[in-house]
A and B are shown apart, each in its own frame.
Chain A
Amino acid sequence: MAEAHQQIYLEDKLKEVRESGRLEYRSKALPTWCPGCGYFAMAGGVPAALNSLGIAPQDTVVVSGIGCSSRFPFFVNTYGFHTLHGRVLPVATGIKVANDALTVIAVGGDGDGFAIGGGHVPHAARRNIDITYLLFDNGIYGLTKGQTSPTSAIGFRTPTSPYTNPDQPLNPLLMVLAYGATWVGQAFAGHPQQLEELIRQAIAHRGFSYLHILSPCVTFDKTDKTYDRLEQRVRSLPANHDPQDFAAAMRQAMDVETPPMGLLYVNERPTLADALDGIVVKAGGAEKRARKVAKAA
């Protein structure tokens, strides 16, 4: 799918990037996504957000699973770990537990995160590990050329459901809210400015932040989650939405017909690092921990 379209990327995007002042976050490798892919919004949004937060590229690790979106680490000039299908969150967990100083951004798609990797999301969320999870939901398996995903709509026709998809799609937002994520937002790849701002907030949040990004697959989905259709359906959160109101966030998350964009929910509670440090203090190892952290810094 990818190689043939590199040139188009070069023409359309490289110039814009060069002028943005975010070049140092950029890898020399060039994205392999199809032209018009929603993921280009991420390629722009993450460096911009890191830049504006003043987080140095060497202190950032972008971790991904397998899927179109998971190619992202190759296209940023930070540290990156392109892992296995579905395992982005546990690898990211290991990185963050081992080194608090790193900013860890997990990236993946709907299949990676909610099919094969679905078992890991609740635990990352409930532990409130201080990482950012950018979930690009295109409702399809793009890398393997268009099969049904756990967020595909009922009635969606793909090569693996030639008689159309019979299964109820998941609602990831409801799930991560229930799992105990402390920052939950939703964005649309068609609105890159809002996306960039939400990525910035998500990274800035101390705790597990989950950003659900509706992102069309222009190659394999011509009927359902297209730019046009999504553009017509997405809406802003109501002006009076209180992101600290869990019940209100749940109500908003339930609306899949007209998905709300913005920060649905935010909450502060101790992170996994706080908990682990607490254990170290209880065990009498705080001094040794402090020495180790100082040495590493």
Chain B
Amino acid sequence: MTRPAKETPSTDIQVAICGSAGEGTIAAGDILRSALAEAGYRIISFDTYPPEIRGFGKCIARLRVTTEQAYSLKQQSDVLIALNDEHAIPHIGEVRDFGAVIYDGHSIAKLPEGGHVSGHLRAGQLPYPVSLRELCEKATGGNRSRNIVALGFLAGVYQLPKDAFLRIITKKFGKKPGVAEQNQAAFETGYTVGEAAFRLDDVVFGAPKRDAATRDVVMINGNAATVRGAVDAGIDCFFGYPITPATSIMERLASEMPKHGKRLLQTEDEISAIAATIGAGYTGARAATATSGPGLSLMQEMLGLGVIAEVPSVVFVSQRGGPSTGMPTKTEQSDLSAAVHGGHGDAQKIVIAPTNVEGCYRCGGKAFEMAEAYQTPVVVLLDLYLSNRYETVQFGARPPFEANCSKPRAKAAPGEPYRRFALTEDFVSPRALPGEPGAMHTITGLEHNELGRPNDQGDMHERMSKKRHEKLKAALKHPDFTHCKRFGDEGRIKVGMLAWGSTFGECLEAMFKARAEGIPCAAMKVVMLSPFPVEPVSAFMDDCDVVLVPEVNYEGQFARLIQGELGRPVVSLARVPGVPLPVDEILETIRRLAASGPRDAARLVRAA
């Protein structure tokens, strides 16, 4: 029997809740993470809805509760709450040995052999049968709050701060008369039973840390943080068309923007969403749309118009499994090529990708600054994992975004036509907005001269193409923005990782583990993907014996991007499991690369 090493007093516990939406699985997860965040723990949480189960409504809420900053979910959960036998049984395996499985100890329906959770526990996992239904009926007269009884039980067993739960329950259900009370009663009942239960697992919640870093933290997911960033940056208009997993961006903005006097319109498709966004951007408004891969494909032609007509716009793209309709409820990072290289013609735009929820906030706001400053579309690449994952984030008192990044505009000389596309030193032209007298001009998707008039002369196309590409270089030095950042060992290292988007969290976790094993290791996150930060990435690669590029797509799109930009070899770990890359898989690759050295690296990873 292997026994886990004695845990440090710091808390690092992952709880999974599995059931159907109708059973309040996600609601329970939401209350749990909110309560624990309020109690002062740090949280990373991600709800999934695996489609491989027939019917719909099955979901799993997972949350990792820590005292120190964590960067990804763990592969194994410490505690599983099963609200539904059928849904939970396939997930019992993810609970580690000496972890706990909490389930309803009685089924109303007659079950065939193997139909009950209790029959599927490994001998090392600890069963906690609870009469969820019975307790719920006693406490509330109904069985709708079974999820809350289970939460109460969990809180009781592990002595979690009860007040935080009761406050969150009140907040969540307070609007419906009687419902808050009913759920409080359910929670109290579960708590009492849990408190009395004999704890056999070795899951220990240490006290939460109360310090400056945990004060005023907000529990928020990637999409909500993106929205907060957009709102803090003063978004004026939003146009969108629902698509998983980006929809909640629009939903939240639909409720938030009008409070700030701003406008949101649900358009008839993604083409009109980006068209209207660009229309609004043309008037000087900070405008955005949000979509996923299929929508990005539809928007490509219009993004090209944004590039050539030099109109600011922001597109939030939350990636999912592709191509085509693909896997709408699974995470993937396979739209990088489409974002960076998509569309016809030489249509470089700015592409940024946050690596965590706080990054979603920053990118969500900074995107508007960049769009405005460089007069171009900005694509913010999120993915399902990042969009839906919750983290505890501390926001500053003042939004870190500039309200106006427009280049000061020069007036047209009287009688002279306005030179909207004037060639300047930094290649950014002054931009007059509709409504301004004496600066009337027309912009177009045709190649044009400095006045904006159609012109397809070769030298003009050369000049204007250069202008449109050169002006973006300034974005590589955009103020108060982390374009890329190195973590881990300084100096010479055996294995360096380059990663982007949500996968960077898993890379960090793997890197810390590798360093603990004595492998000199570092990881660099690359937030700015287009234009590409060649210099710092190149400097990082100089330090590495081998560069590993883990990402969740099949083609190794980021690896190819790096190789294309730098012409240097990297080792690609590109997989499409539909879920975040397992930390252990990254770690195992690091180990093998560290052991084999650079020469064998490519062969090794191919063999894997």
Chains A and B share a contact (CB less than 8 Å): yes
- One of A12-20, A153-161, A279-287 at the interface: A279-287
Instruction: Give complex CA distance A125, B227 in Å.
Output: 30
A95 at the interface (CB under 8 A from B): yes
Measured CB to CB, the closest approach of chain B to A74, in angstroms, equals 5
- One of A76-84, A198-206, A208-216, A240-248 at the interface: A76-84
B257, B267, B282, B285: the one contacting A81 at CB < 8 Å is B282
Instruction: Give complex CA distance A287, B258 in Å.
Output: 11
Within 8 A of A (CB), among B250-276: 255, 257-263, 265, 267-269, 271-273, 275-276
B159 at the interface (CB under 8 A from A): no
Instruction: Give complex CA distance A91, B439 in Å.
Output: 20
| Cβ A83 vs Cβ B275 within 8 A | yes
B302 at the interface (CB under 8 A from A): yes
Instruction: Give complex CA distance A77, B437 in Å.
Output: 11
| Cβ A80 vs Cβ B443 within 8 A | yes
Contacts of B284 in A (CB 8 A): 98-99
Question: Which of A89, A91, A284 is packed against the most chain B CB atoms within 10 Å?
Answer: A91
Measured CB to CB, the closest approach of chain A to B270, in angstroms, equals 10
Interface of chain B, main secondary structure:
mixed
A102 at the interface (CB under 8 A from B): yes
| Cβ B444 vs Cβ A87 within 8 A | no
| Cβ A79 vs Cβ B434 within 8 A | yes
A59, A74, A123: the one contacting B435 at CB < 8 Å is A59
Question: Which of B281, B440, B442 is packed against the most chain A CB atoms within 10 Å?
Answer: B442
Instruction: Give complex CA distance A206, B407 in Å.
Output: 35
| Cβ A83 vs Cβ B445 within 8 A | yes
A63 at the interface (CB under 8 A from B): yes
A222 at the interface (CB under 8 A from B): no
A87, A280, A289, A291: the one contacting B271 at CB < 8 Å is A87
Question: Contacts A82-B442, A91-B279, A98-B280 hold; do A292 and B287 have CB atoms under 8 A apart?
Answer: no
| Cβ B278 vs Cβ A91 within 8 A | yes
| Cβ B272 vs Cβ A87 within 8 A | yes
For B, the interface residue count at a CB cutoff of 8 angstroms equals 50
| Cβ A123 vs Cβ B439 within 8 A | no
Contacts of B255 in A (CB 8 A): 283
Contacts of B272 in A (CB 8 A): 87, 89-90, 93, 120, 123
Contacts of A239 in B (CB 8 A): none
Instruction: Give complex CA distance A61, B281 in Å.
Output: 13
| Cβ A102 vs Cβ B271 within 8 A | no
A150 at the interface (CB under 8 A from B): no
| Cβ B445 vs Cβ A101 within 8 A | no
Instruction: Give complex CA distance A56, B437 in Å.
Output: 9
Question: Contacts A80-B443, A93-B272, A123-B268 hold; do A58 and B279 have CB atoms under 8 A apart?
Answer: no
Name A93's closest neighbour in chain B (CB-CB): B276
A94 at the interface (CB under 8 A from B): yes
Measured CB to CB, the closest approach of chain A to B396, in angstroms, equals 22
CB-based A-B contact count at 8 angstroms: 168
| Cβ A102 vs Cβ B434 within 8 A | yes
A92 at the interface (CB under 8 A from B): yes
A250 at the interface (CB under 8 A from B): no
| Cβ A81 vs Cβ B275 within 8 A | no
| Cβ B435 vs Cβ A102 within 8 A | yes
B275, B276, B277, B454: the one contacting A74 at CB < 8 Å is B454
| Cβ A285 vs Cβ B259 within 8 A | yes
Measured CB to CB, the closest approach of chain B to A18, in angstroms, equals 16
Within 8 A of B (CB), among A70-124: 73-74, 77-84, 87, 89-99, 101-102, 119-120, 122-123
Instruction: Give complex CA distance A98, B283 in Å.
Output: 7
Measured CB to CB, the closest approach of chain A to B279, in angstroms, equals 2
B417 at the interface (CB under 8 A from A): yes
Contacts of B276 in A (CB 8 A): 90-91, 93-94, 97
A259 at the interface (CB under 8 A from B): no
A29 at the interface (CB under 8 A from B): yes
| Cβ A74 vs Cβ B453 within 8 A | yes
Instruction: Give complex CA distance A255, B364 in Å.
Output: 53
A4 at the interface (CB under 8 A from B): no
Instruction: Give complex CA distance A81, B262 in Å.
Output: 23
A171 at the interface (CB under 8 A from B): no
Contacts of A81 in B (CB 8 A): 279, 282, 309, 442-444
Measured CB to CB, the closest approach of chain B to A284, in angstroms, equals 6
Contacts of A79 in B (CB 8 A): 434-435, 440-442
Question: Which of B260, B282, B434 is packed against the most chain A CB atoms within 10 Å?
Answer: B434
Question: Contacts A27-B442, A90-B267 hold; do A291 and B280 have CB atoms under 8 A apart?
Answer: no
Instruction: Give complex CA distance A283, B252 in Å.
Output: 13
| Cβ B268 vs Cβ A83 within 8 A | no
A29, A61, A287: the one contacting B453 at CB < 8 Å is A29
Contacts of B236 in A (CB 8 A): 98, 292
A235 at the interface (CB under 8 A from B): no
| Cβ B258 vs Cβ A82 within 8 A | no
| Cβ A83 vs Cβ B305 within 8 A | yes
Name B436's closest neighbour in chain A (CB-CB): A58
Instruction: Give complex CA distance A98, B257 in Å.
Output: 13
Name A28's closest neighbour in chain B (CB-CB): B417
A229 at the interface (CB under 8 A from B): no
Measured CB to CB, the closest approach of chain A to B244, in angstroms, equals 22
A57 at the interface (CB under 8 A from B): yes
Contacts of B268 in A (CB 8 A): 90, 119-120, 122-123
Measured CB to CB, the closest approach of chain A to B591, in angstroms, equals 51
| Cβ B453 vs Cβ A95 within 8 A | no
| Cβ A94 vs Cβ B439 within 8 A | no
Name B437's closest neighbour in chain A (CB-CB): A58
| Cβ B265 vs Cβ A286 within 8 A | no
B261, B279, B282, B434: the one contacting A286 at CB < 8 Å is B261
Instruction: Give complex CA distance A287, B309 in Å.
Output: 34
A145 at the interface (CB under 8 A from B): no
B174 at the interface (CB under 8 A from A): no
B237, B261, B263, B438: the one contacting A58 at CB < 8 Å is B438
Contacts of A96 in B (CB 8 A): 279
| Cβ A99 vs Cβ B435 within 8 A | yes
Question: Contacts A58-B434, A79-B441 hold; do A93 and B265 have CB atoms under 8 A apart?
Answer: yes
Contacts of A27 in B (CB 8 A): 442
Within 8 A of A (CB), among B278-321: 278-285, 287, 301-302, 305, 309
Measured CB to CB, the closest approach of chain A to B574, in angstroms, equals 34
Measured CB to CB, the closest approach of chain B to A175, in angstroms, equals 15
Contacts of B443 in A (CB 8 A): 80-82
Instruction: Give complex CA distance A231, B499 in Å.
Output: 68
B261, B265, B269, B439: the one contacting A288 at CB < 8 Å is B261
| Cβ B280 vs Cβ A97 within 8 A | yes
Complex A-B: 26 CB contacts under 8 Å: A57-B440, A59-B434, A81-B442, A82-B442, A82-B446, A90-B267, A90-B271, A90-B276, A91-B282, A93-B276, A94-B239, A95-B283, A97-B239, A97-B265, A98-B236, A98-B279, A98-B281, A98-B284, A102-B435, A119-B268, A120-B272, A127-B265, A280-B261, A289-B262, A291-B261, A292-B261
Shortest 5 CB-CB distances between A and B: which pairs? A94-B279, A80-B442, A289-B261, A94-B276, A90-B272
B interface residues, Cβ below 8 angstroms from A: 236-237, 239, 255, 257-263, 265, 267-269, 271-273, 275-285, 287, 301-302, 305, 309, 417, 434-446, 453-454
Contacts A98-B283, A123-B267, A288-B259 given; 5 further ones with Cβ under 8 A?
A83-B275, A83-B305, A95-B280, A99-B434, A280-B261
